[in-house]
Amino acid sequence: MKKSKFMLFLVLTFAVSVFLAACGGESSEKSSGSDGKGEEKPDFMSLVTGGTGGTYYPLGGAFAEIISEETGIQTNAEVSGASAENMNAIKDGNAEIAFSQTDIASYAKDGKLMFEGAPVDNVSAIGTLYPETIQIVTTAKSGIKSVEDLKGKKVSVGAPGSGTNPNAEQILEVYGMTFDDIQKQDLSFDESTAGIQDGTIDAAFVTAGTPTGAVEGLSATEDVVIVPIEQDKIDAIIEKYPYYIQDEVPAGTYKLESAVPTVAVQAMLVVSNDLSTEVVYDITKAIFENLDKVVHDKGKLISAENAVNGVGIEIHPGAQKYYDEKGIKAE
């Protein structure tokens, strides 16, 4: 009898131990945020940026430090190949937060261009950051004064696979033109400005924050002209492609006598949809309420008030919660 009672005690003890272990494991999983739902909070996040020589990487370092300090989630900024690679990192679960151009994010969501047949459907926006201006660069001696003047000319539309290429194609489109109307050259920014300087090409599309180093270099030896985009064409491209915003190249840039109207895509932050509403709310609040800790010049252009403009993809519910609290709406 005593032996039977002892065996029953052992069985009950084992059963209770298994139950408690299961409960403990469930609690640990929830605290780690492994499925990204409810109030779950991850212990670690990866923020993918760009190359060390660009703008994304130093900004990403500042954001990662702010997020770590303000949310308690250890966040690391990582070097990457920038926008397209970053969107795929989110898709594959290799990053939680990423920098991207607004147009590239839109292509990724829609499965277009470089994402043809492979859309990224698990990503949403935190918000836009600062403009990356589309500049149509030429010189006074070229005689090019309008987009129509590009017909028949040798024009660089950016390096193969770059975001500049579709920018050029879409701007030509609103003018009723295609790449067949120009002698298309696929050159990097440095190659483009060198080509303009030595006369092997006539003009170049450059998508970058202003002033752009390669164009500044050209302005040291040439009278740089930035070809304007007329207001009706600006309105048309923004209506068809909502990730564009109106912009200008300011007077004084590249020694320009007056500002030149154009359009821009924007740098933006995106997040994985696996992150909960509360976590993304905390991330969004941390960034926009601690911009004084960002020493990079581009930090001066970043604000919560502008973050909802020109996004082009859905805003994450957590970020939207922050904007709603602040009464911030898209213009």
Lowest mean pLDDT among 64-73, 158-167, 234-243, 247-256: 158-167
Q: Is 185 helix (H, G, I), strand (E, B) or coil?
A: strand
Q: How far apart are CA 124 and CA 274, in angstroms?
A: 10
Nearest to 182, CA basis, from 212, 158, 150, 214: 150
Q: Which of 37-51, 206-220, 277-291, 295-309 has the highest mean pLDDT?
A: 277-291
Instruction: Please measure the distance between the N-terminal and C-terminal CA atoms of the chain and give it in whole angstroms.
Output: 82
Which residue shows structure tokens 């602040």? Answer: 326
Domain positions in the chain: 44-130+267-326, 132-265
pLDDT at 270: 98
pLDDT at 82: 83
- AA identity, residue 110: D
Lowest mean pLDDT among 79-83, 85-89, 264-268, 327-331: 79-83
Q: Is the per-residue pLDDT at 254 higher than 50?
A: yes
Between residues 128 and 5, which one has the greater pLDDT? 128
Per CATH, 44-130+267-326 and 132-265 having the same topology is answered yes
Q: What topology is assigned to 132-265 in CATH?
A: D-Maltodextrin-Binding Protein; domain 2 (3.40.190)
Instruction: Supply the pTM of this predicted model.
Output: 0.72
Between residues 85 and 224, which one has the greater pLDDT? 224
pLDDT at 326: 96
pLDDT at 23: 43
pLDDT at 53: 61
**CATH code matching the domain that covers 44-130+267-326, chosen among 3.40.50.300, 3.30.1450.10, 3.40.190.10, 3.30.70.20:** 3.40.190.10
Mean pLDDT of all residues in 270-279:
97
pLDDT of 154-207, one tens digit each?
A: 999 987 767 788 899 999 999 999 999 999 999 888 899 999 999 999 999 988
Q: Is the per-residue pLDDT at 132 higher than 90?
A: no
> Is 288 exposed, middle or buried, given 0-12, 13-18 or 19+ CB atoms closer than 10 A?
buried
Mean pLDDT of all residues in 88-116:
94
Q: Are 198 and 221 within 8 A, CB to CB? A: no
Which residues, in sequence order, are CB contacts of 314 under 8 Å at separation 6+?
Answer: 124, 125
Mean pLDDT of all residues in 275-282:
98
pLDDT of 16-66, one tens digit each?
A: 443 444 444 433 333 333 334 445 899 999 999 887 766 788 899 999 999
- What the block records as the tokens of 225 is 């002209």
pLDDT at 52: 72
pLDDT at 18: 39
- What the block records as the tokens of 76 is 């690391």
Nearest to 284, CA basis, from 293, 271, 274, 294: 271
pLDDT at 48: 95
DSSP for 14-43, written as a single string: HHHHHHHHHHHHHHHHHHHTTT--TT---S
pLDDT of 221-236, one tens digit each?
A: 999 999 999 999 999 9
pLDDT of 305-331, one tens digit each?
A: 999 988 989 999 999 999 999 999 987
pLDDT at 39: 57
